[in-house]
Structures are given as structure tokens and as C-alpha cells.
Structure 1
Amino acid sequence: MKNFTKILWVFLLITGNIFGQQEKGITGTDNWLHNWTEFKPNTVDYGEPTQILAGNITKDTKLSKRNIYLLSGNVFVTDSTTLTIEPGTVIIGDYESKASLTISKGSKIIAEGLETDPIIFTSNRSVKRAGDWGGIIILGDAPTTKFGSGSVASFYGKLNATIFENSNYGGENLASNSGVLKYVRIEYAGKRIKNAGYFNGLLLASVGNETILENIMVSHCAGNSFEILGGEVYLNKVVSYKANSNDFKFNYGTQSSLSNSLAIRSPYVSSRNGARCLQINSYDNKDEVDFTKKGTLVVAKNITLITDSDNLKSDIQQGLVKEAVYVGHNASLEMIKSVISGFNPAVLFEDKIRVNQENLEKIKFTDMYFNNCNGNIFVENNMNNEDLENWYGNSAFFNVYSKSNNSETFIDLKNQRKPDYRLRINKIIASNEVDPDLKRLDD
């Protein structure tokens, strides 16, 4: 009987550990990336445009799957108008005219694709590259910490304010509804504008919590794949693939959640300044922010962040791999049951953040899986992270540290047609102790 009891306890312990590991990172009984995503979009022929979208859309409009649309110049949906896009519709951004699509405050986009028939936004160049066209901008009237209301023209800097007169955002409506983006792919966006920087794949400014944002893939973006300014945004099952800049950037008091989502970085396409999977800020310029309002808060649950590298150590030595997560001053992050694999280090705090209990209680890492990172959690410009390791390494946080290559860690990330980035449970040897070999090379 005693032997049976021991065997039962061992079985329960092993089973509990396996299911505990399965809960980390992106989850699902089936691989939810199947059918609607595309990891080699440059090989896909979307056909030639049959219709042109240009100027302002001022009355309710529906785009149908039977047409292929050329997005020409800066297209605005204005005057409380709704733009509806059928599943399977292809919209091609024009390279020469620096095409972009803006859903102005009070208007809506209903782009509800299907798993087997996603909506595609892509480039019209024969050889597609990051930054071929602008991207999608959605503006709402939810709160932002910026004084007054913001505008895309002022955000990007030196944009033509006359052209972007319909680009204001911000208000007091947390339940602002800008529509639906579901089963949507955005490819090769992030056009660079002279004196204005890069557009983003999807910019969400003061978007409210009634807006549905699910199953969105942004690939090969020259700017940030997803940028969120203010508002209350819920992102679920979204993918950023090989962005030049940040995968997810949150700023200006947004109260956001990011769940069951994926970011894959390449050491060879990041911008010179480096880029992160998650960048959490409360401001760029503190003089333009109302500090009586809530600072940025992001809850990230079941997120998988990966560096796609065949020789991680060499890429780190060459300075091609940076931190996965960056947390700025006065911002809060709660990261739960997530995977960070192959970064240098896993997390970096802005050097303005003092390491004390008050600040650390605003930046939480719980039930995490840190794998093959060149150091775990540091403060910017400070190589001594003993206090942080002691805090987050406490068994109460249930964080796990490991050192396995990606092919051993994830189910099938080399499958170009149907990659699977869920954890490969049976090959992971995990420990609650920090791996002594995982130290930053610049220590």
C-alpha cells in the first residue's frame, strides 16, 4: 500500500508538471495558426487589382471578395462611416503612393475574415519588402494620457497636417467601438515617410474595449507590427512575424491585455537601434502627459516570444540579439504563463526604475518559462541583477529556467507551411533554479 501511494504521488507530480508546462506560452488543443496564417507571403500570388480605393470614404461601403483592391495614397474612412470587408478579400497597398488606410474617430471597420478565408492586406511590388506601403490606423475616442486629444500627424512628426486632418483621437469613452478585425493578415507594411519615421502595421490609438481584435498576423513590417496608444485594447491570438522594429509597443496610458499571442524575431532584420518583442512605456515626452491619469498597464498572458536563430550564441556576440521585453518608467506589466526563448537578456527595465518593492510590485512575472536567454532580468546600464534574480527567482512566482535550443523547446517551428510554436513538453527539463550558465556575455 505504501509503495502504491508513493507511485501515485510520483504520477500526480509528473502529470501536474506536464500540464503546468503546457499552460505556458501559446495554448490550444489544436494549433490555431493553421489555415489563416502565412509565413512565406512573398511566394503567394494574390493576382492583379481590379478596383481602386482612393481619397475619403464618406458613406457606408462594402468590399467584396470577387474584387482585388488597390489601396492608393492615404485613404480615410470618415463621417461615422462603416467600411465592411468580406472574408477572403485582398487589398493591395500601392508602393509609389505610400498607401495607408485610416479609420477615423467615430467610424468603423468590419473586417471579419474566416479561418479558411482570411482578409489580406499586402504589397503590390513583385519583390515584396518590409515597408512597401503604410499600414492600417484605427482611431477611437477612449482615454489617453496625452494632454488634449492626440493626432496621428503630431504622433509621427512633420506629417502633412492638411492631408491628415481626419487623424485626431482620444476622448472619455472606454467602450469606444471601432469595429472588428478578425482573421486578418497585414504584410510588408511600415512605409518610411521623410522626416516622419516609419508607419506601423497596425496602429491603435484610443481604441476602446468594444473593438474586437483577434487572429491578426502582421508580417515583415518595417515599423512596429502593433502599436497601441491609450485606450483599452484586448488583443487575442495575434502574431508578429519578423518585424524590423518592435512587435508590440504600448504607450500613453493604455490599459491593454495581450493573450495567447506570438512574436518571432529574426536577428537579421531588426533595426539598427534594436527592437523588442514587448515595449511598455507610459510616455515618450513626459511634458505632454497628464500624470493624474493612469499610467500604461499591460497584462500579457500565454505569450510566446522567440528569436529565430540557428546560431544564437554567435548572433548575440555580434550584437544582433537584444532583450525581449523592455519596461519603461511609470509603466506596469503583469506577465503570466508566458515563454521567452533566446534573448539577450530576457527583460530590461529602464534605468529610471528604482529596484524597490513598490516598483517591483508593478512589474510582475509569474509562472514564466525563461529559456536559453543570455541573462534574465536586468536594469538598463547595470550589470548587477542580483536583487532582481532573488526577487523573481523566488519559488512563490513559479518561474522556470531552462537551456534548450528552439527545436527541442517547440513542437515544429521549422515547418514552413504549418509551424507549431506550442511547447514540446516531453523534451523540456525544467527547474525553478536559475541556470548558472545563463549569464550575459558582457558580465
Structure 2
Amino acid sequence: MKHFKHWLYVMLLPLSLLAALSACKKEPGMDTPPQAPALRIVSIEPATAPVGSTVVVNGENFSTTPGSNTVTIGGVPATVISASPTQLVVVVPEGAANGPIGITAGGQTVQSSGTFTVAQKSAKPISEVRGTRFMNLTWSKDTIYLLRGMVYIPADYTLTIQPGTVIKGAGPELDPEGKNQAGTLVVERRGKIMAMGTPTAPIVFTSAKPAGQRGYGDWGGVVLVGKAAFNQPGTTLFAGGVRGTVETYSEFDDNSGTLQYVRIEFAGTAPSTPAENKLSGLTLYGVGYRTTINHVQVSHSSGDAFGWFGGTVTAKNLVAFRTYDDDWSTNWGYIGRVQFGVALRDPQTSDPSGSNGFESENFNPGENADGSPLSPRNGLPQTAPIFANMSSFGVNTTITSPAREAAGYQSGIHIRRNSAISIYNSLIYGYTEGLRLDGTATGTYANATSNALDLKGIVLANVLTPVVGGGAITTDQANAYFTAAGRGNQIIASSDIGSLLLNATNFNLTAPNFLPQGGSPLLTGAVTGGKLDATVGQANSEKFFIAVPYRGAFGTENWLASWTNFDPQNTNYDQ
């Protein structure tokens, strides 16, 4: 029996071992260590940049510690200045060569599929500017200035910019405070900017990206904040991530300095939240009429081109070029004057919300924040600016309604929310609607019938629907107002637009010429008198508007000569 038991034990032992091995067998793959998420390069922005500049590498699964990412550009190690799982900001190193960008992180190494190109280094030194500048500054044309994040010129300090100076705005990824704010210049209350370019040496604010890679909203823009009045509560925040609140001032003659022969290009980036809260290319908050603004071009703004929020500032000779949203936006109680402005849009680019030439509105629902009656001098005025000799050009060709609406254009002039804007001797061309008069019977419509809102000497041309009512205003009421005898307004059908004798290159997107041809009916027919005789100044002694016989922004003088640029995408600003 013992022998039998021993034999049985010997026979069962291999079976037991086999069963034990089977019991210990793991599911497929359990002996393989888990794979780290794949390191990947998605894109490089920009793909061309000089030594010493920064580039952004977008991808996946980077180390969040800058020094734990090894980056090479054309085989040469580069310094990483900030890192997140999806983005590295690196400096192009000395000796870098054209070639792929390589990254090693977490034990993995990858290379970009495309080639990075080392651009010729700027002939001028680059000076980075960030934060609040508690000093008087002078920026020279011999240096390129790079705005990183929100740059503030605070109260009692002045920024002077020499003619011919180039200032570049960095994208939000280069915000030194890590708040995802794009480079933006903000001149605060009692601060001043003295940016006095010349026709042959304009001052240029533009994108930090190289030629060919610039785009809408690459940086924030230029913001001036003054001490003239708003019709908002004093606790109202500024848009665009600008610090502070509007407060309650009524210094109508406030002076924020001078912008003269200045270009602002590729601005309008929104802050991280909310996404729709964009700055304009030039944003003016409560700016007073002692401020000088003339010969300013805003190009490729992702928000509005010019945004007036309250204030009394005046301006002449403005250009809005290829704007994404509205060209001329007035709000929050702006009561200034503007003469001579031209807007030319890209027919392929617009805002899904509906792009307008003019958009004017008052504080909704059209009364002062404290409920008091509106008056022009109580510190909380009604939006009631006066514009004259403006030309807003949308689409050139005659196209169908669905195609025009798909382009995102809405109105050449959109007046709403109790605005009392007045516009004279102006041309609106190539919009889905010419005029949209929008609001309540006691607001916008009452302003129109009382002539507080005044539209005279206006030509609507190549528009699908000339006049439209909105809100409580019917289209019949809006039409009756616009076409009333004595207003001198005119509607030119699309079939008759040739009669305007516009310049043959009026709509050229790189070299437009807006001077009407000889014999054009636009060269005559301007209305006179009334608000065109309006004055400015505390003593109401300074006449603002220049009497001219033409309608639109141009007669026979081309005030765009020399200082404007209609091809900023391909301009080399590093020379």
C-alpha cells in the first residue's frame, strides 16, 4: 500500500504542477508593462523664425517640467521656457539649422514631420515689454518692441513712440504671467501715449509672427482708457481682460495723448474666458476730446476694427481693412465726432454673428444706469456720435441672397438699443441690408422721428435689401424715415452701380484705390448745415467737421498715400 501511495504521489505531482501553472497563468498582456502615452508633435508655430525668437510646439504628452523635455532644432539643443502636456515654448538656439524639431520626454523621442526653417535674424535688436511700466518711456525706431501679455502705461506716465517704430504683439502662449493673455498695450487713465508717426514713417503695431504666417487675432491690440463719461455703472468691467472698471468720470476734455499715422494689424485676440469678449484693433474707453486721433489704419482685426465705448474723442482719416466683425462700433454713450473713414472687407471673411459696417447701440435698455433721464452732460450720456464722409465697402459683385448671407454680412448700418447716432454724406456698398433700424417705439424710433438720430446724404448701393426694420420698428416705418424728402438719401440698385463710377481698383485687396472717377455723382451732392456745424470743446468754440462737396470718404485727394499698407501679410518688419 505504501508503494502504491508513493507511486500515486509520483504520478500526481506533475499533474499538480501543471494545474498550478495553469492556475497562475495570466490574462494576455498582463506580463507586459503598461505603455506610456505616445509622445507626438502636431504642429510648429511659426514654422519659420530667427535665432533668439520663440516658437510654439503643439503636440501630446510633453512633460510639464520644462527641463524634462529635451528639444533640438536642426539637431541643436534648444531652451524650453514653458511647458504643458500639449505645448512647449522654446527659443531658437544659436547655430540652429533648417530641419525637423526633435523632442525627448518620458523615455520617448519623436521628430516633427515638417521642416523648421531658421529665418534671417532681425537687423534690429528686440526688446521685450511686459507688465506695468512705472516710468516714462521712449521707444525708438532702431529697436523692435515685443509685447508679452498685458502691458500697462499707468497714470501719470507717458509712452513716446518715434516715427517708424515697429511694435509686435506676442500670442497668448507667451504671456509671462501664464494667464493666456495675448500681447496688448493698455494706456490707463491719466496715462498718455504720444505715437506721432509721419506719412513716410508710420508707427506699426503688428503680429509677432513672420511674413506669410500672420492671422486674425494674433495679439490683443491697442487700448486707451480715459476719464470722459460712460453710461454704464461704475463697477462695469472692461472687455478684453483689461484690468479695472469704468468708474464714473465726466471729464469730457480728458487727454490720452496722440495716435497719428499709425497702423494696427492682426489684433483682436479674445481673452481665455469668455471667448467672445474680444478687443477691437483700437479700443477706446471713455477717451476725451483733447486726445488726437488721425490717420490710423486697422487691418485684419478678429474683433471690430474701431470700438468706441463712451467718451467724447474725435477722429479723422481712419481705415478699417479686412475686419472680421464690425468696422465702426459705438456703444456705452459715445458722443464724439468722426470724419473721413474707409472700410474695405474681404468677401471671404466675416463673423458668424453678422458683420456690419456701422453697429451703434446705447446702454440697454436705453437709460442711465441709475434710472435718471438721459442728457448729454450729466455724466451718463446717450450714445449719440456724429459721423461724416464714411465709405464702407463689402462685396463688389452682385450675388444671390443665400450666398451673401453665407458670407456673414448683415448691415451696412445697424442702429439699435436707443442709439441716437447721426451719419452724413456716406456710402454703404455691398451688404445684405443697407440700413437696419432696430429698437422700440420710445427708443430708436423716437430718436429717428425727433432727429436726435439723423441720417442724411447717404448712398446705399449694391445692397439686397436697402432698409429693414427690427424690434418694434416696421420695415415700412424705417423706409419712410430713410426716404423722406429733404434727407438727400439715395438707393442705387445693383443693376445701376456702374453709374457711381467707382475706381477700377476700388476692391483690390492688396492695392485698392478709392478715388471716384471723374464725373462720379459721389463727388457732389453733400448735405450741409445742422449737426455738421457741430463744435467741440468746453466753450463749444472748436468746429470739427470740414465742409466738403462729396459723399463718401474721398474726393480728388488720396489721403491714404504713403502711410497705409494693404498687404501686411507679406511685409518684412525685421529689416
Common fold: TM-score over 0.5: yes
Asked if the contact 2:268–2:302 (Cα under 8 Å) also holds between the matched residues in 1, the reply is yes
Equivalent pairs: percent with the same residue?
23
Question: Do structure 1's residue 298 and structure 2's residue 385 form an aligned pair?
Answer: yes
Asked if the contact 1:149–1:171 (Cα under 8 Å) also holds between the matched residues in 2, the reply is no
The CA deviation string for residues 317-372 of structure 1, in whole angstroms up to 9 with x for no partner, is: 53633111111122102111111111121111224346866533232221121211
Pairing partner for 1:342 from 430, 433, 444? 430
Asked if the contact 1:130–1:189 (Cα under 8 Å) also holds between the matched residues in 2, the reply is yes
Distance of 1:146 and 1:414 partners within structure 2: 39
Q: 1:165 to 1:386 in 2, by over 3 A?
A: closer
Q: Which letter maps to 2:360?
A: I
The CA deviation string for residues 100-149 of structure 1, in whole angstroms up to 9 with x for no partner, is: 01001110000010011100000012300001001111101111111225
Alignment of 1:140-289 (within 5 A): 140-148=226-234, 150-152=236-238, 155-156=239-240, 159=241, 164-165=242-243, 168=246, 170-196=248-274, 197-284=277-364, 289=369
Asked if the contact 2:368–2:381 (Cα under 8 Å) also holds between the matched residues in 1, the reply is no
Count of residue correspondences: 380
Pick 1 or 2: higher relative contact order, CA cutoff 8 A, min separation 6: 1
Q: 1:104 to 1:240 in 2, by over 3 A?
A: same
**Which residue is equivalent to 1:420?**
513
Q: 1:92 to 1:46 in 2, by over 3 A?
A: farther
Return the offset for 1:308.
3.5
Q: Which letter maps to 1:66?
A: D
TM-score with structure 2 setting the length: 0.61
The CA deviation string for residues 289-338 of structure 1, in whole angstroms up to 9 with x for no partner, is: 24533310021100101104445436325363311111112210211111
Distance of 1:89 and 1:107 partners within structure 2: 20
Pairing partner for 1:323 from 396, 411, 414? 411
Return the offset for 1:377.
2.0
Which deviates further from its counterpart, 354-363 or 143-152? 354-363
Q: Mark the structure with the bigger radius of gyration.
A: 2
Distance of 2:405 and 2:286 partners within structure 1: 40
Q: Please give the secondary structure, in 2, of the residue aligned with 1:125.
A: coil
Distance of 1:68 and 1:356 partners within structure 2: 50
The CA deviation string for residues 4-34 of structure 1, in whole angstroms up to 9 with x for no partner, is: xxxxxxxxxxxxxxxxxxxxxxxxxxxxxxx
Distance of 1:110 and 1:321 partners within structure 2: 36
Distance of 1:49 and 1:144 partners within structure 2: 41
**Which residue is equivalent to 1:121?**
205
Q: Which letter maps to 1:220?
A: H
Pairing partner for 2:144 from 61, 65, 68? 68
C-alpha RMSD of the superposition: 2.9
Asked if the contact 1:340–1:346 (Cα under 8 Å) also holds between the matched residues in 2, the reply is yes
Q: 1:113 to 1:246 in 2, by over 3 A?
A: same
TM-score with structure 1 setting the length: 0.78
**Which residue is equivalent to 1:59?**
135
Distance of 1:407 and 1:132 partners within structure 2: 40
Distance of 1:211 and 1:429 partners within structure 2: 31
Distance of 2:243 and 2:409 partners within structure 1: 39
Structure 1 spans left out of the alignment, 5+ residues: 1-44, 433-443
